[in-house]
Amino acid sequence: MKFLLLLTFAFCLFSADLEKGAKLYKKCTACHGNDGYGKKSQKAPMIAGQFEWYLKEQIYAIKNEKRLNNNTKKMYPYVKNLSDEDIENLSAYIASMPKRK
Ligand code: HEC
């Protein structure tokens, strides 16, 4: 029983917060869409249901200006101030969004 409680506690500490992720995602919809399917007019790709690790890597790469081109420059202002926790929650939320059929 104690072990279970500990496990639940650890889970709460280390699991991403999807609600916070959903709130943060509101900043991304202008280009990636409410559904995360992307927008051709913005040259923003579909991201819904993508692997969490990949999303995280790309958000960091764009934030740290390692992935730098005319498209990522447009996104940079939206990610430059995100904390590690924000990126964790955002990536988990986007990964949980249903993929386009
Ligand atoms: C101003 C438009 C714009 C906004 C706002 C924006 N993005 Fe992007 N995003 C882009 C564009 C354009 C690309 C494609 C970059 C490229 O061509 O290399 C991109 C790429 C990405 C990628 C990489 C996708 C891949 O398949 O490699 C991720 C992940 C991503 N955006 C997440 C986000 C998140 C999370 C937010 C909100 C915090 C956000 N974006 C806000 C325009 C935007």
| pLDDT tens-digit readout, 16-71 | 999 999 999 999 999 999 999 999 999 999 999 999 999 999 999 999 999 999 99
Instruction: Give residue 77's pLDDT.
Output: 98
Residue with more model confidence, 26 or 8: 26
Question: Does 48 sit in the ligand 1 pocket, CB within 6 Å?
Answer: no
At 15, the pLDDT band (50, 70, 90 cuts) reads: confident
Residue 78 has pLDDT above 80, yes or no: yes
Ligand 1 pocket mutation, candidates 35, 47, 75, criterion most atoms within 8 A of CB: 75
The answer, yes or no, to whether any atom of ligand 1 lies below 6 A from the CB of 42, is: yes
Query: What does the buried/exposed string (b/e) look like for 70-86 if buried means 16 or more CB atoms within 10 Å of the residue's CB?
Result: eebeebeebbeebeeeb
